[in-house]
Amino acid sequence: MFAFPMKFAERMKNMLGSEYPAFETEFESYKTYTGIRINPLKKGARDAVLNITGELEKVLWCGDGFYADKNVLSGEHPYHLAGLFYFQEPSAMSVVEVLNIQPNDKVLDLCAAPGGKSTQAGAKLGSGGFLVSNEIVSKRALILAENMERFGIANAFVTNETPERLEKRFPLFFDKIIVDAPCSGEGMFRKEPQAVLHWSEEHTYSCADRQILILNSAARMLKAGGFLVYSTCTFAPCENEGVIDRFLDSHDDFDIVPIRKLPMLADGCGGWAGSTRDFSGTKRIFPHKCKGEGHFIALLQKRGEALAAKVHEPLSRCPSDVISLYREFERTVLNINLDGEFELFGENLYLKPFGLGDIDKIKIVRCGLHLGVCKKGRFEPSHALCLALKKADFKRSVDFHCDSMEIEAYLRGQTLPSDLSGWICVCTDGYPLGWGKASGGVMKNHFPKYLRIKG
């Protein structure tokens, strides 16, 4: 039997009333849901995935979301490695949907790892605007960067900073901000039972104090007229309505915007102790009502009229010989010319999104699209560059079915025979998967070693 902490159970009984037995029964079932979100940046990805899985049940609050079976799709499936889909808890897919991201928006995901909401936001941006994805924990920031690269998002900037340092660099800068705040994780009790053992009422209040600080930094980076979505995966009112109440007490230029886009989700509770504010415009996901774990979402707007954006002059700090080296690679290997601001970090060449400006004094994990490495008069393309392009962008490519022996050999790091020469894009069912370099009838494998299938 699933055993809730006593104080948690008492609070939930007060919150849910007659619905509490259904809530408790749902947790006792230990049933969890695996969600996948299809990548709209990969044309035809939905049909390709559904061709393998058969019809899947849709996640009602996300147009690209489906419930899936991990026995059919895994992290080692070629389609996952090619960025056609992303594993994401179904409830978490709801947050970005309420933000109404437009192609030219400047978006910040302030607590972004492992990357579910950032990949979702980046896909909505397409090739316009740009996204800054931040994660304060270094190891998690590397995982975030890897997920962004696999999803083929070229106009994203991954940082490893505190919110306080970011707010000094980006005052009144962003059109949309995502704050998926670190929380007590009550909504994940069913999926992560060990979290029950670490729960305490005191911890929920300490989380709320940290969440307020993060929101304060986010507020200073949001333009007038801009939108901020705040979310947690906890049921605790002190971390949800309570945090929003405290935030609005000290930010009278913000309003709660009623979330009307997701009518299938439960409205937030009607109030918060000691407050006269109405929180019914927020949303909650309860596991006994929806097929997903617990979640809370609030949409806020900053009042005022946004000032005209400053025109940013492109920076040209990259040596011309390095740019020439890349352009020569582009001329001989690709069918396209990429546009943006070139940035060189050591031997690593990046294409930075226009409009980002100076990035000095910020801990950078990924500065836009990693093009590759320049060393000893030669250019070696990155895995990220391959995944950011489509098959037609390459002069030379080979294509194998996802279940083929060739793809299995490639993912294991083996060489393949080839009658081509030079850099080659290896595709699976038309989707770029990685690089190979051929000469003398053999294609050397350049699929990253850390991604290769073992065993």
d(CA 391, CA 370): 18
CA-CA-CA-CA torsion for 21, 279, 263, 239, nearest 10 degrees? -60
pLDDT above 80 (res 1):
no
d(CA 330, CA 229): 40
Quote the percentage of the chain above a pLDDT of 70: 96
pLDDT at residue 308, rounded to an integer: 60
- Structural contact between residues 149 and 383, judged by C-beta atoms closer than 8 angstroms: yes
**Mean pLDDT for the chain overall:** 93
d(CA 127, CA 129): 7
* Prediction pTM value: 0.95
Q: Is 233 a catalytic residue?
A: yes
* Alpha helix stretches (DSSP H) within 151-227: 163-169, 194-197, 201-221
d(CA 354, CA 86): 27
Residue whose pair of structure tokens reads 């070629």 in the numeric block: 78
* C-beta contacts of 274-281 below 8 A and 24+ residues apart: 275/241, 275/245, 277/244, 277/245, 277/248, 279/241, 279/244, 279/245, 281/256, 281/257
- Structural contact between residues 97 and 261, judged by C-beta atoms closer than 8 angstroms: yes
Q: Which helix (H) or strand (E) holds 409?
A: helix 405-411
- For residue range 414-428, list pLDDT tens digits in order: 999 999 999 999 999
- For residue range 11-23, list pLDDT tens digits in order: 999 999 999 999 9
- Structural contact between residues 196 and 27, judged by C-beta atoms closer than 8 angstroms: no
pLDDT at residue 130, rounded to an integer: 92
- For residue range 35-45, list pLDDT tens digits in order: 999 999 999 99
Q: How far is CA 84 from CA 16, 40, 52, 177, in A?
A: 39, 8, 12, 25
Domains of the chain: 394-455 (2.30.130.60)
- For residue range 364-388, list pLDDT tens digits in order: 999 999 999 998 889 999 999 999 9
pLDDT at residue 28, rounded to an integer: 84
d(CA 83, CA 111): 22
Average pLDDT for 394-412? 98
- For residue range 246-292, list pLDDT tens digits in order: 999 999 999 999 998 888 888 876 567 778 888 989 999 999 999 99
Confidence of residue 354 (pLDDT cuts 50, 70, 90): confident
pLDDT at residue 355, rounded to an integer: 73
Of 111, 183, 233, 374, the catalytic one is: 233
pLDDT above 80 (res 390):
yes
Average pLDDT for 329-348? 94
pLDDT at residue 291, rounded to an integer: 94
pLDDT at residue 111, rounded to an integer: 98
d(CA 131, CA 122): 7
What per-residue string of b and e applies to 162-184 under the rule 16 or more CB within 10 Å gives b?
ebebbbebbebbbbbbbbbbbbb
Q: Which residue has the higher pLDDT, 308 or 252?
A: 252
- For residue range 128-181, list pLDDT tens digits in order: 899 999 999 999 999 999 999 999 999 999 999 999 999 999 999 999 999 999
Confidence of residue 8 (pLDDT cuts 50, 70, 90): very high
Average pLDDT for 200-204? 96
* Alpha helix stretches (DSSP H) within 251-374: 320-333
pLDDT at residue 353, rounded to an integer: 82
pLDDT at residue 315, rounded to an integer: 56
Confidence of residue 314 (pLDDT cuts 50, 70, 90): low
pLDDT above 60 (res 313):
no
